[in-house]
Amino acid sequence: MNVVLDLCRKANVTDPRDKVYGILGLLPPNIAVSISPNYELSYQQVFYQFARTMIRQEKGLEAILSWCTFKELSSLPSWIPDWTIYFSRNHIQWLRKRKAAGSAAAQWIHLRFS
């Protein structure tokens, strides 16, 4: 799956939301069914929804590590990959499995600040 995500991150599209919507048929069913194309959402909202779904369904961060960008380059929070920023190098070759939390699955907590 990381190879598909890395290649799609580099794809040229006229609408950034298509970087997510265009690969739904290539993703595992448990992820694809959680996302419905909605062009009324901003690309930031679509990227947020996709990152949240990946973390919840994969129970970890490994699936999004290969295409995260540096926060200084993006208006998105650092944990949400910004697929509008093009990187010429392939991140897949640098991705290694790490188990900082051992075998513990990631848990999702959403904080809201007002």
Residue 79: which domain range?
2-94
Instruction: Report the alpha-carbon distance of residue 8 to residue 17 in Å, rounded.
Output: 11
Phi, psi of 81 (to 5 degrees): -60, 135
Both tokens of residue 41? 């959402």
Tell me the whole-structure pTM to 2 decimals: 0.69
Residues 19-67 pLDDT 10s: 889 888 888 898 889 999 999 999 999 988 988 888 888 777 766 665 5
* Domain contains 8: yes
| 73 in any annotated domain | yes
Q: What are phi and psi of 9, to 5 degrees?
A: -60, -35
Number of folded domains that form the chain: 1
